[in-house]
Amino acid sequence: MTENQAYLAAKNRIKDLEKEIAKNRKAIEAVKREKLFSEKVLNSLPGIFYLYDEKGTIIRWNKNHETLTGYSARELPNRKIFDWFSGEDKQRVSAVVQDIYADGKLRTIEARLIIKNGQKIPYHFTGVRMTVNGQKYLLGMGLDLTEQKITEWELRKSEEKYRAIFENAVEGIYQTTPEGVLVSANPAMAQILGYASTAELMASIKDVSRDLYFSRSERRNFLRLMQQNEPVSGYEVEFLRKDGSRIWASLHARPITDKKGKLLLVEGIFFDITEQKREADSLREREAYLRKENIRLRSNIKDRYRFGDIVGKSTAMQDVYEMILKAAASDANVIIYGESGTGKELVARAIHQFSDRKTERFIPVNCGAIPENLIESEFFGYKKGAFTGAAASKAGFLDLADKGVLFLDELGEIGPNLQVKLLRVLEGGGYTPVGGLDVRQTNPRIVAATNRNLEDFVARGLMREDFYYRIHIIPIHLPPLRERKEDIPLLIEHFMQASDTDPGEISVTGEMIAAMIQHDWPGNIRELQNVLHRYRTLNLFDLPKSTSTVSAARPIRLEAGPTYDSDMETFQIAMERTEKRLLVRALEANQWHRENAAKSLGLAPRTFYRKIKRHGLVRHK
């Protein structure tokens, strides 16, 4: 063979190999697709799928086998076929497996499968022999019979009353009417609730809503599920015992209805889970404590000069920081008291930032800024067509704040009608959007703020007492600026650094700081921020004349930038006189009605009142 022929032969061989490789790739892809399809089929099966060899080792299984038993893919191969059973179940399953391997016929059996947490779950198993290359395998499926067993038990109880089980069960078993009458109860129920006998229990409880349930709203919620013909499993409520103490119970119940679907009876069983709840509460408290300690450890000495966006190192502010930490570690409702301008929203945001809800929404609401005719639709939302202009459905504040924080600023502005509806939401009763029929549930944390005396509101009938106590769980009192004047230099530095102005261009003199420390700050931090803003933007440092110092009542010379000479001071005085003249004219034209006078000048009422107070135009009765 010549060299050229050898070359051509090698080239043709390479082409043949490439074709063979491509063909093998297609075959591998087909196998992969088939394997993926098979896995999808197996994983879509409702129960557990298994394939065991003759040694009792599992070869194949589906995802449900891991999910339902609690064993991982790594752990499953270590469990032999008969490790899933015990006692009589193990013996019966062993005999059936031997028969299947012997004759290959399909067989079924019911037995209790032991899952990882030790529970024994009733299952219906199928098995058939499969032979591959002379090797025998056991192929089959298992279906959880728990629900079926519960249904069978309930049917037998309804037909035969299952008196022996009823009398000797350790769980409380009962029947009630929708109206709250206790129809039947077993001895265990009487014992759990602290009664000497079933007869005493039946004679004592006239209305389960009043005499058994600690929270009537929980009874209403439970009854609503029954009326919707929905069985309930694991519904946790608090029951009252004979001595007035409370226990936590886990209810498993079903409705009994007539042919038309009308609820006739509620029957069920309950378990005393008080100890489990206490352990869970104890765990949550420990977690809350550790979370709080974690926040403390992350806060060094420098951090305590500020907390989130709050600035201050005074003793009063350190107390506020401690209350914020306690509130952040809890999920209880919070009320923040403080004068206008003290930073109540910053405190609310700090609580949200350090709480478990920090990844959820923070929805601020100024209750005093919403017109009364819109307040319900703003809170609860509305359906399309609920009223003129409702072109589309809209979510309300409660929808938006679900699982997050709803910040209610100026809480005292909420009227009694809305208080009732919000109280229902806080008690778990849900709410209905304007124009809607469905009852919605939401889980916002309420953080409220006010500059009013809410106890006085309750005494005067302006606020419902039950609503007040639902909100007033963790009170935080924010001190006014005049009670924390040692924080003023820190606040000045904070606001000056936060401005867009180059700090090197202007500075605050010691004379200015002294004047600001001696000022009484009726507008609190907001007023301080405005004074510094005028200074940065207009190079004008002026404090209202209500201050006790002379230096604070006149413009102060700047340390950098242009200075004010006598002509500029005269101009300032002229501006003050012009402003006072306008205020007096507006008051006289409106018979000294402040709101109308403010409106005529296009000023906000609070701004107008601050100006007339500065000019000494406030009438004293």
DSSP string for 325-385: HHHHT--S-EEEE--TTS-HHHHHHHHHHTSTTTTS-EEEEEGGGS-TTTHHHHHH-B-TT
> Is residue 122 classed as helix, strand or coil in its secondary structure?
strand
For residue 586, the tally of other CB atoms under 10 A from its CB is 21
More confident residue, 271 or 569: 271
247 contacts 272 by C-beta, under 8 angstroms? yes
- How does residue 35 score in pLDDT terms, banded at 50, 70 and 90? low
Helix (H) or strand (E) holding 263: strand 263-272
Summary mean pLDDT of the chain: 83
More confident residue, 418 or 588: 418
More confident residue, 4 or 231: 231
CA separation for the pair 466, 217 (Å, rounded): 14
The answer to whether residue 43 scores a pLDDT higher than 90 is: no
Placement of tokens 């004349």 in the chain: 545
pLDDT the model gives residue 518: 87
CA separation for the pair 222, 227 (Å, rounded): 9
Strands 172-176 and 58-61, sheet pairing: unpaired
Q: What digits encode the pLDDT tens for the residues 175-198?
A: 999 999 999 998 999 999 999 999
